[in-house]
Amino acid sequence: MRDPLGSVPIDEMQTRPSLPVSNPDALAGARRAERLLPTTRKLVANAIVQLAKDYDLYTAALARNPVNAAAARVEAVRRIKPDVDSRDNASVLLRDPRVIDFGTIFLAGLRSDEGMISVLAHELTHIASGQADSLRPLFRAIARRAAARTGLRIQGQRAEELGCDLVGVMAARAFIKQTPSWEPLSRRLARAFEHNCVDDDASDEDHLSPRNTIRALFAIDVSLASEELSDGSSGASWIVPRLPFTRPTMLTASTRSS
C-alpha cells in the first residue's frame, strides 16, 4: 500500500469495471509488457535450466532435449495482446503459442517492472511446457516439495500453476539483481507477489488460493522469504560496490568537522 508502484491485489481488480484498450493505464501496462518481453524470455529460459538442475531432472544427455525445446518455445513468443474481456487475467493458447492474452485491468494493475515480469514469466512457463506437457516432471517435483513443507494438496493443474509462479518469482528476482536501484530489495521483491495479497482468498480446482500460493513459494525457497523480510539495508548492499561514494559514516564525519 505504501509502494506507489505496488500491484493491485487480484480480488480488488475483480471488483473494477472493465477497461478499454485505449485506457492510459492499460496502454502503459501494454507498453511495459512489450518492453519487458525479450528480457523475460531470457530470464525464464535461465530459470527453467536452474530448476532442472536443482531438482536433478532431465540430467541424462538424451533427456536434456525437453529443456532446450522448452527454451525454444519461450524464445518464439512475440506478442502481447491486450484484451478487455480477460479483465484481471492473462492467458496463453497452446495452439497459438506466440501470443500472450492480457486483460486490460491486469495490465493497468501491475505498475512495476518486477510485477509485470513475474506475470509474463508465469505465462511463458505455460508455453515452455507446451502441448507436450514436457515440464510436467518438474512441476510435479516442485509441487511435491511444497506439499511436504506446507501440508497443502497440490496436484494436477495446481502443480503446473505453482511451477509457473515459481519461475515468475525467480525471473523477477534475477531481474532485480541485474538492475540495481536505491529502492529496498524487499519492496522490489514484494512486487513479484503482491497481486496475490488478497482479502478474498478464493481457490479453485486448478489453482491454490492466492495466499496459499505465497505460502507455498516461501516454503519452496526459504531464502526468498528471508530476502522479503530483510530491511532496506540488504537491498542497498547489492549496489554499494558499484558506486564510488556510499559510506554514510564518512558523511557523518564531515558534518561533524564543519
- In the complex, the residues that contact Zn ion under the rule CB under 5 A are 161
Q: Min. distance of Cβ 244 from Zn ion in angstroms?
A: 44
Q: Min. distance of Cβ 76 from Zn ion in angstroms?
A: 19
Residue closer to Zn ion by CB (options 44, 185) is 44
Q: Min. distance of Cβ 189 from Zn ion in angstroms?
A: 21
Q: Min. distance of Cβ 161 from Zn ion in angstroms?
A: 5
Three-class SS of 20-39: CCCCHHHHHHHHHHHHHHHH
Residue, CB closest to Zn ion: 161
Residue closer to Zn ion by CB (options 116, 236) is 116
Whether 86 and 119 have beta carbons less than 8 Å apart is answered as: no
Residue closer to Zn ion by CB (options 165, 183) is 165
Residue closer to Zn ion by CB (options 206, 231) is 206
Residue closer to Zn ion by CB (options 101, 113) is 101
Q: Min. distance of Cβ 149 from Zn ion in angstroms?
A: 22
